[in-house]
Amino acid sequence: MTIKIYNTLTNKKEEFQSQKEKFVSMYVCGVTPYDNMHLGHARAYVVFDIIKRHLLKRGYEVKHIQNFTDVDDKIIKRSQEKNILPSELVRTYIKDYFDQTEKLNILKAEKYPCVTQMIEKIIGFIQELVNKGFAYEVNGDVYFSVEKFKDYGKLSKRSLEDFKISARVDVSNDKRSVFDFVLWKKMKEGEPQEVIWESPWGKGRPGWHIECSVMSYELLGETIDIHGGGQDLIFPHHENEIAQSEAKSGKQFVRYWIHNGFVVINKEKMSKSLNNSFNLKTIFEKYDSRIVRYYLLTQNYSSPLDFSKEGLENTKNTLHGIDEFYSKLVDFAKESAEEITDKDLLILQENFLSSLDDNFNCPKALSYLHELKGLALKELPNASLERLSQFRSLFEDFAETSLGIALLEGQDVNLDLQSLLKKRNEARKNKNWSESDRLRKLICEGGYKIVDNKDGSSVLVVKKA
């Protein structure tokens, strides 16, 4: 078994080798909680959820850290607009993050550090950069001297001459170079006191980039196996993380950089700043969160994903087909097999896992899920109970364990519907077709579908979205 990862640092697919055998340290850049989660966020966290699930499946222990940037210009501005404290705003949107990611069936990180919990460590980190000559203070602001770090640009593959100043890099006449980025911001008039701290350079707060370097260093160490986020973070955020982290430690900061592609609408990146984002809360009012998760898996993670209503509708139909199949399978195989022993299924299992070994190829993995579904449908209901149980076990493993797609089956329904189903089965057994049709209509009016089996039995399938 060899896992291959496309490493943004080297621009090639590489064989994954963790620093410690069967242990992976992984840091994922989290949200700035000033607004609701949108589909672009969902894609990033579903991607890293798949990565984590597959590493776990392949026997690794994964220490996964994901931060909340709870001190930021956008948070301050939004809290002032709402006339509430920044901490109150942050609490609201951190809750939204957990609400939406739970619906998306995303595994929780081991820790979710916040910037406000790390201020003392951040100040110490900056002070060490100053002491080493990589940073300097001007009138209460502290900047990183980019030209002092000789490898600057190695992630984004640009030289200093190629760089354009990013909107999130402060431009100031006090800086020695336009390329230098802020590590510590001095207090501005009117800023809330709860986001201001004392430091050796006066009152202020951390810059954006230093925060992730410190949190990853404190919780995962000087060198980590995997770090990533959306492609928009390559520059300046991740480039600056490398500079300040490696300037401090003198060691490689990250071994494998992973970046997911954007969600696009009309070929434009989806983002709050472009005012074209779709927040998950709104989407989930119309579409089951399982549909959204499945939809996010249909394109290779590093490629753009074109968002459309048509795409969601197609995914909804696909998932209905999966639900109907699984309900039927469960009706025949009441329990999953404890292990897979069938030769054909073992081959299919290895093909599925190998597709995820190859840079987490979810579209290919989904194709094997549907191949398994098609194979099982051909054999229902004539296959042996043992084989059907193995079909069920493998299907659950593919869908739920590896891909995080929760499977539903038509057993969790109310007693009235179960009673109607029982009466309908009796009517079918007695060939009372008019009564059978009447009862089917009553059941379907409740929003359920019915799958009739060849042996005369029926099963209720989940409500239509």
Q: For 218-234, what is each residue's pLDDT tens digit?
A: 999 999 999 999 999 99
Q: For residue 296, tell me if it sits in a domain.
A: no
Q: For residue 317, tell me if it sits in a domain.
A: yes
Same domain, yes or no, for 376 and 442?
no
Asked if the model's pLDDT at residue 414 lies above 60, the reply is: no
| Portion of the chain with pLDDT greater than 90, in percent | 75
Same domain, yes or no, for 67 and 208?
yes
**Lookup: tokens for 50:** 């798949």
CATH number for the domain that contains residue 321: 1.20.120.640
For residue range 352-396, list pLDDT tens digits in order: 999 999 999 999 999 999 999 999 999 988 899 999 999 999 999
User: Is there a contact between 376 and 398 (Cβ–Cβ < 8 Å)?
Assistant: no
Asked if the model's pLDDT at residue 457 lies above 70, the reply is: no
At residue 167 the predicted structure's pLDDT band, cuts being 50, 70 and 90, is very low
The per-residue pLDDT for 96 is: 97
The per-residue pLDDT for 451 is: 64
Q: How far is Cα 223 from Cα 294, in angstroms, rounded to an integer?
A: 33
How many domains are contained in the chain? 3
Same domain, yes or no, for 348 and 450?
no
The per-residue pLDDT for 421 is: 76
Same domain, yes or no, for 334 and 430?
no
Same domain, yes or no, for 393 and 326?
yes
At residue 266 the predicted structure's pLDDT band, cuts being 50, 70 and 90, is low
Q: For residue 293, tell me if it sits in a domain.
A: no
Same domain, yes or no, for 396 and 260?
no
At residue 276 the predicted structure's pLDDT band, cuts being 50, 70 and 90, is low
Asked if the model's pLDDT at residue 462 lies above 60, the reply is: no
Rounded to an integer, the average pLDDT of 326-354 is 94
Q: For residue 330, tell me if it sits in a domain.
A: yes
The per-residue pLDDT for 465 is: 37
Identity (one letter) of the amino acid at 318? T
Q: How far is Cα 62 from Cα 56, in angstroms, rounded to an integer?
A: 7
Same domain, yes or no, for 336 and 390?
yes
Q: How far is Cα 396 from Cα 384, in angstroms, rounded to an integer?
A: 18
Same domain, yes or no, for 253 and 388?
no
Q: How far is Cα 389 from Cα 340, in angstroms, rounded to an integer?
A: 9
Asked if the model's pLDDT at residue 411 lies above 60, the reply is: no
Three-state secondary structure call for residue 311: helix
* Beta pairing class for 263-265 and 224-230: unpaired
Same domain, yes or no, for 96 and 55?
yes
Asked if the model's pLDDT at residue 455 lies above 60, the reply is: no
User: Is there a contact between 150 and 118 (Cβ–Cβ < 8 Å)?
Assistant: no
Q: For residue 431, tell me if it sits in a domain.
A: yes
Rounded to an integer, the average pLDDT of 38-52 is 96
Q: For residue 175, tell me if it sits in a domain.
A: yes
Q: Which of the pair, 52 or 421, is modelled with greater confidence?
A: 52
Q: For residue 288, tell me if it sits in a domain.
A: no
Same domain, yes or no, for 358 and 242?
no
Q: For residue 408, tell me if it sits in a domain.
A: no
Which residues span the domain enclosing 97?
4-280
Q: Which of the pair, 250 or 455, is modelled with greater confidence?
A: 250
Same domain, yes or no, for 61 and 147?
yes
The per-residue pLDDT for 267 is: 63
At residue 77 the predicted structure's pLDDT band, cuts being 50, 70 and 90, is very high
Residue in the structure block whose two tokens are 């089951």: 288
Same domain, yes or no, for 270 and 419?
no
* pTM, entire model: 0.86
Q: How far is Cα 153 from Cα 160, in angstroms, rounded to an integer?
A: 7
Asked if the model's pLDDT at residue 274 lies above 70, the reply is: no
Lowest-pLDDT choice from 325-329, 404-408, 455-459: 455-459
Q: Which helix (H) or strand (E) holds 318?
A: helix 309-332
At residue 408 the predicted structure's pLDDT band, cuts being 50, 70 and 90, is confident
Q: How far is Cα 303 from Cα 296, in angstroms, rounded to an integer?
A: 11
The per-residue pLDDT for 79 is: 97
Q: How far is Cα 159 from Cα 179, in angstroms, rounded to an integer?
A: 11
Q: Which of the pair, 374 or 272, is modelled with greater confidence?
A: 374
Asked if the model's pLDDT at residue 273 lies above 70, the reply is: no
